[in-house]
């Protein structure tokens, strides 16, 4: 073969390889989209008509969904109209809790759908709720959210929004056509420190953004004890068959909103990813179960720790890590670096150029521990201040879920629906944050090759307002 012919063939092969490796990104994001023709509406700053009394239904009331039901039932302006779960005992438990909270008056006609995997479909058709809270296994999130919106209700989905790029596009298209909210319920965005850091970023305290770090490092091997029902019964299989960062949004959600990603200033561009060897789950199964047990018959192929790096359109970087296997303390990193200082978590600490008056003289010393009171007094998010008394009334931050963030999120969802205001997290944010899972898997499969983020907004992120520091 002549050299020039070899080069032509090599170039063509490289081009085809590139198309193949990036195949999951060749989507509607590259095509013009006619909203009028498709009877669609961009949902970035969408505000639905006010709903004075929000009729709420729940699909899945296990460990997570039961908490949603209990607190939503306690929030003013709600009526629980239906509960669906595969297991009747779980459905009845939440039924009784909601009935007691309503005093027999507010939540008096709660329909129960259980015993079959498709009962939730009948619930959507027969009950016609205004909002549906979906807390099921990851593979069900997309089909349930899509059918919820098609039935005429707003969908609120546990993390992640979906696990494939195709499903994420289907969610976007359905939301735009039905004009219904689909919000991934990233509760960490409502943590006290995360809200304070958002407030400080909006005030320009750390200057221009350069870099962020986000993680979900949480040793969860004990969930493998849930063999027949519960989180471990289905999540364990993901550790075996899936690839990449399986749970990116708890860390990524807050820092993405600090940076205004997909909201006017900047957006996700590309991602590279690598994982460690997969050792911990196999060792745990061998140590705790007999050799014939189903957990010892799985091939755990997803690495124990995944590290991915995102590059934004403006050249900023975000390091994301995920590890639910290794024996180590919990952390989400929650770090944002600017030209004037740094805000970091685990433990919460701040360093600013020029120091913090009365505490530090320069950026070489952290403000942390008891000294953080000065920053809380000055920069605590107004939403946190407004809801503090209500949180205390409901039993305090340790009682309402994850230091208060769960209740604040649920309260804001209902408040936005009743006021007819845009949600704090739009459908596109949930899709961008969740897209890290399939993109990281594709990068790993191609030896760390960069993966381009689909633009779920079709360019409309440039005109979307940054998340405001609401009071």
DSSP 49-82: PP-SSEEEEEE--STTHHHHHHHHHHSTTEEEEE
The answer to whether 153 and 180 have CB atoms below 8 angstroms apart is: yes
Going by C-beta distance under 8 Å and a sequence separation of 6 or more, which residues neighbour residue 15?
none
All CATH 3.40.50.720 domain ranges of the chain, comma separated, are 54-184
What integer pLDDT is reported at residue 22 of this predicted model? 38
Instruction: Record the tokens describing residue 202, joined without a space.
Output: 């909006």
What integer pLDDT is reported at residue 33 of this predicted model? 86
User: DSSP characters for 1-14?
Assistant: --HHHHHHHHHHHH
Which CATH number is correct for 189-463, 3.30.70.100, 3.40.50.150, 3.30.360.10, 3.40.50.300?
3.30.360.10
What integer pLDDT is reported at residue 190 of this predicted model? 97
The answer to whether 425 and 183 have CB atoms below 8 angstroms apart is: yes
Compute the half-sphere exposure of residue 247: CA atoms within 13 Å on the CB side of its CA. Answer: 22
Class of domain 54-184: alpha beta
Strands 341-344 and 335-338: antiparallel
Sequence length of the chain is 471
Burial of 329 (0-12, 13-18, 19+ CB in 10 A): exposed
Q: What is the pLDDT of residues 407-461, one digit of tens each?
A: 999 999 999 999 999 999 999 999 999 999 999 999 999 999 999 999 999 999 9
Instruction: Record the tokens describing residue 437, joined without a space.
Output: 């899972």
DSSP reduced 3-state for 91:
helix
159 has a pLDDT exceeding 80: yes
379 has a pLDDT exceeding 70: yes
Going by C-beta distance under 8 Å and a sequence separation of 6 or more, which residues neighbour residue 34?
none
Cα maximum dimension of the chain: 85
Alpha-carbon span 94 to 101, nearest angstrom: 11
What integer pLDDT is reported at residue 102 of this predicted model? 82
What integer pLDDT is reported at residue 23 of this predicted model? 40
180 has a pLDDT exceeding 70: yes
Q: Cis check for the bond before 347: say yes or no (omega within 30 of 0).
A: yes
Report in angstroms the alpha-carbon separations of 395 from 73, 338, 392, 406, 408. Answer: 16, 37, 5, 13, 14
The answer to whether 312 and 261 have CB atoms below 8 angstroms apart is: yes
What integer pLDDT is reported at residue 31 of this predicted model? 63
What percent of the chain lies above the pLDDT cut of 70?
93
What integer pLDDT is reported at residue 362 of this predicted model? 98
Structure confidence at residue 253 as a pLDDT band (50, 70, 90): very high
Q: Is the dihedral of CA 236, 237, 243, 248 positive or negative?
A: negative
Which phi and psi (to 5°) does residue 229 adopt?
Answer: -150, 155
Q: Identify the weakest region by mean pLDDT among 150-164, 170-184, 285-299, 389-403.
A: 389-403
Determine the average pLDDT of the residues in 315-319: 98
119 has a pLDDT exceeding 80: yes
Task: Report CA Rg, the chain.
Answer: 23
All CATH 3.30.360.10 domain ranges of the chain, comma separated, are 189-463
What integer pLDDT is reported at residue 21 of this predicted model? 37
Q: Identify the weakest region by mean pLDDT among 14-28, 50-64, 409-423.
A: 14-28
18 has a pLDDT exceeding 70: no
What integer pLDDT is reported at residue 397 of this predicted model? 87
The continuous run of DSSP H or E covering 142 comes out as helix 138-150
What integer pLDDT is reported at residue 441 of this predicted model? 98
Q: What is the mean pLDDT of the chain?
A: 93
What percent of the chain lies above the pLDDT cut of 90?
88
The answer to whether 220 and 301 have CB atoms below 8 angstroms apart is: no
26 has a pLDDT exceeding 60: no
User: DSSP characters for 327-364?
Assistant: SS--B---EEEESSEEEETTTTEEEETT--TTT-SSTT
Determine the average pLDDT of the residues in 356-365: 97
Nearest Cα to 260, choosing from 467, 418, 28? 467
Nearest Cα to 282, choosing from 298, 264, 258? 298
């Amino acid at each position: 073969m002549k050299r020039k012919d070899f080069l032509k063939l090599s170039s063509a092969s490289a081009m085809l390889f590139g198309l193949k490796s990036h195949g999951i990104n060749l989507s509607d994001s590259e095509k013009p989209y006619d909203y009028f023709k498709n009877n669609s509406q961009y949902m970035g700053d969408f505000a639905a008509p006010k709903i004075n009394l929000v009729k709420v239904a729940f699909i899945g009331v296990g460990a997570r969904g039961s908490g949603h039901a209990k607190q939503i039932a306690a929030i003013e302006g709600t009526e629980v109209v239906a509960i669906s779960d595969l297991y009747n005992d779980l459905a009845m438990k939440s039924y009784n809790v909601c009935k007691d909270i309503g005093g027999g008056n507010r939540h008096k006609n709660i329909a129960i759908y259980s015993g079959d995997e498709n009962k939730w479909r009948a619930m959507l058709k027969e009950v016609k709720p205004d909002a549906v809270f979906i807390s099921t296994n990851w593979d069900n999130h997309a089909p349930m959210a899509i059918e919820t919106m098609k039935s005429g209700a707003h969908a609120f989905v546990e993390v992640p929004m979906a696990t494939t790029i195709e499903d994420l596009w289907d969610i976007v298209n359905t939301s735009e056509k039905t004009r219904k909210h689909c919000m991934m319920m990233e509760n960490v965005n409502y943590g006290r420190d995360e809200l304070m850091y958002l407030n400080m970023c909006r005030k320009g305290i750390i200057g221009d953004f350069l870099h962020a770090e986000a993680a979900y490092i949480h040793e969860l091997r004990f969930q493998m004890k849930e063999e027949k029902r519960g989180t471990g019964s289905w999540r364990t299989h993901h550790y075996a068959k899936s690839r990449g960062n399986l749970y990116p949004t708890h860390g990524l959600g807050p820092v993405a909103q600090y940076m205004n990603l997909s909201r006017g200033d900047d957006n996700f561009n590309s991602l590279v990813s690598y994982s460690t060897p997969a050792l911990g789950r196999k060792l745990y199964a061998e140590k705790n179960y007999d050799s014939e047990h189903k957990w010892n018959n799985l091939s755990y192929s997803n690495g124990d720790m995944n590290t991915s790096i995102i590059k934004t359109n403006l050249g900023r970087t975000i390091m994301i890590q995920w590890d639910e296997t290794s024996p180590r303390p919990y952390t989400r990193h929650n770090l944002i670096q600017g030209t004037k200082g740094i805000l970091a978590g685990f433990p919460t600490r701040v360093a600013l150029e020029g120091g913090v008056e009365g505490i530090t003289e320069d950026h070489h010393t952290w403000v942390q521990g008891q000294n953080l009171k000065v920053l809380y007094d000055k920069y605590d998010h107004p939403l946190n201040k407004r809801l503090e008394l209500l949180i205390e009334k409901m039993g305090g931050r340790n009682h309402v879920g994850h230091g208060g963030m769960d209740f604040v999120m649920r309260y804001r969802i209902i408040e936005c629906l009743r006021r007819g205001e845009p949600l704090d997290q739009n459908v596109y944010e949930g899709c961008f944050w969740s897209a890290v899972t399939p993109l990281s898997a594709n990068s790993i499969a191609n030896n760390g090759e960069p993966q381009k983020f689909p633009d779920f907004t079709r360019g409309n992120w440039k005109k979307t307002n940054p998340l405001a520091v609401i009071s």
